[in-house]
Amino acid sequence: MKSLRPLARSPRPLRQPKIDWEGKEQAALFAILAVKHPEVARLAFHVPNGGHRHIKVAAEMKRQGVKAGVSDIILPMARGGWFGLFIEFKAAPPNDSRVSPEQNAFLLRMEQQGYYATVCRGIDEALRVIEQYLALPRTEAVKC
């Protein structure tokens, strides 16, 4: 009978699969909007800028106009003198992540162009911001 040789080192512990808290919370937010604010749900959309991609796919997307820092959620409804709403969505603490310098710069550029642009951490904060934004009077466009 052969004897077992000891391993040179202990095997690595299995890595827990990474949970996409931000993605799960954002999906839940859109499900809530579909029920509470169907018009918002029809107009609001997510910009799928993040995630890990093969380098060739990432390069092609960059050539097609994908830009670092673009906000996650865009609501093209004009309210309160603003032309629309941009939300950089982060998961609620403790699963939140930092806002990158590119994301901060993008939010500032959008605000300079007349959009309400902000960071929301979690479903509750995002829903509160959206509902406060909707409560503002409609921004009327004057056609010449």
Q: How many domains does the chain have?
A: 1
Answer yes or no: is 46 within a domain: yes
**Residue 81, pLDDT score:** 96
> For 5-82, where are the E strands, in sequence order?
45-46, 73-75
Question: What are 10-68's pLDDT values in tens digits?
Answer: 667 777 778 889 999 999 999 999 999 999 999 999 998 766 677 887 788 788 888 88
**Residue 87, pLDDT score:** 98
Answer yes or no: is 130 within a domain: yes
Answer yes or no: is 18 within a domain: no
Residue type, 14: L
Q: What is the pTM of this model?
A: 0.83
Which value, in Å, is the radius of gyration of the alpha carbons in the chain? 21
**Residue 10, pLDDT score:** 64
Answer positive or negative: Cα dihedral of 91, 20, 34, 68: positive
Q: What is the CATH number of the domain that holds 116?
A: 3.40.1350.10
Question: What are 78-109's pLDDT values in tens digits?
Answer: 999 999 999 999 999 999 889 999 999 999 99
Question: Is residue 4 scored above 90 in pLDDT?
Answer: no
Q: What is the dihedral of CA 118, 123, 127, 129, to 10 degrees?
A: -20
**Residue 143, pLDDT score:** 87
Contact 90, 22 (CB under 8 A): yes
